[in-house]
Structure 1
Amino acid sequence: MAKTVIIESAGGPEVLKLVDRPVGEPGPGEIRIAHKICGLNFIDIYQRSGLYPLPLPQAMGMEAAGVIEAVGNGVTHLKPGDRAAYAANPPGAYSEARVMPAAQVCPLPDDVSFEQAAAMMLKGMTVQYLFHRTTPLQAGDSVLFHAAAGGVGQIACQWARSEGITLIGTAGTDEKCQMALDHGATHCINYRTQDWIKQVRDLTRGEGVDVVMDAVGADTFEGSLDCLKPLGMMISFGNASGPVPPFNIGILGQKGSLKITRPTLFTHIADHDTCQAMAQHLFAKLAKGDVTIRISQRFPLAQVADAQRALEARETTGSTVLEV
């Protein structure tokens, strides 16, 4: 048996329940992992609230790190006793232990702690696909990144700096803006006190940026289009303020033949070899010192509802982890 956080209906943080569930043995292509630390991400809130519907009842959580206890037939990249981490479907990471598909579970280098891994797998591989798999980016290019002081944002700021990319961030307080700058943002705009669209245009001498990376959603979508150069790329990869409402695709032509995509990490990591390569790229960035992981909040697993409330209210910075 393992303590596991589940939901039986969609709703607010109060629907999260900590229960005992049987774990069982791994079947072909599966592993059993004992978790040490679990990660917290906005996708967990989207799933809990029903924005991303799940079959119910459902174990929750998409990211964790721990030790492999058993492997099923056909699993060759992991063995019992290995340290490992993942960000992967299906949900179930908010638990002491689980059985899950092995393909997206990654061996963990000795110099990466369980806490670092649980705080960075989903966020770090998200940044990897944003900068390397979505649209070509190279040194000298410019990016507008919303929520630059959050867990994904802090990694993105460092990633951009390490590759010579100008990153203009936005954040909701002066303190968060300074945090983004400290992590490598070239500029950061307080969207509560400044006209961030005008500021972006001014900082780019009226040209706009090559790419917008936006996980905020409804509140920033329309303005983000106005910050792009002609032929620029809008990457909408999250919905922290709510989903982007329907819009007239003709607007993209009017604003400069813009491009738009709505990617998800789980499409990019669906292939085993690609997932492992993305994780290795992330680990290499960490080993070189290009990226460090800031863990600003820690909660016991039993207090997961409080952790989600803090994340949903945008009261957190950096990464948040759940201690098993």
Structure 2
Amino acid sequence: MSAEALQTPGRGSGFADLFRSRFLLKLLVAKELKVRYRGSVLGLLWSYVKPAVQFVVFYVALGIFLNMERSPTNASGLPNYAIYLFSGIVLINFFTEALGNASRSIVGNGGLIKKIYLPRQLFPVASVWVSGVHFVPQIIILLVACLFNGWRPGLLQLAAAAAGFLIVALLATGLGLLFGAVNVYFRDAENLVDMLLMIATWASPVLYSWIMVRDKLGETFFTVYQLNPITVGVEAFHFAFWLPTTDGAESIPPHLLSVWIPVGLAISGLVLLTGQLVFRRLEGRFAQEL
């Protein structure tokens, strides 16, 4: 047998395995959904309940108590703050759920991994897909709310929304592969991911305006702030869903479409590549370490 035909046991073929094992990937996604809602009364309705409660809490605390909602007596607030807030929440919820579950997916499926061989990469990717299933009901609610507020999307808005979601999905997948692999060897990775997810909502303009960051911290820090792909994804969602519901007087970050969205895609792609390389390097000993 030639050396080229030999493969290290336990190592897959990277992203090619996702295409070859796409039916198995569908089964893993279905399994994750069934296990998650086994014995649950509401089932998939939790995809509506959780973001609704989160939205109400943030809207009351920030929109009403801290005057983030523009009103006749508060000209400094944001118009249609409810749309602004929810369009950020649906995207950040997708990211936090996808990364949190993907980073635990290998350890959580340790029993299966130790019994048979199947491409290990399927587990974190399946977790991201499950989060995508939960994302769909939330985006439908957002679309309905936007339509009631006069939203008439153009191709540019729809393209920006797709780009924003793609940026966050690539980032979540890349980090999920990275931390999912490292977590097998060092369980402290779970705690690190929990801290990152706690910071993620506040490190991007989900609850506040990007103008606050620029005015308070200056242009230099704002440029660093814009290098966060989640920030770019949220701003793309605001441009796509919130901005068309305003009177047009509001603004988006400079060069969002021409510079920051391509930069966000490039950074997320680099993170995905890095996560894939680390995952392939470590996956050979998953069964032994688990």
TM-score range, shorter chain: under 0.3
Higher strand proportion: 1
Give me the TM-score of the superposition, normalised by structure 2. Answer: 0.27
Which one has more relative contact order, counting CA pairs under 8 Å at least 6 apart? 2
Structure with a larger share of its residues in helix = 2
Greater Rg over alpha carbons, structure = 2
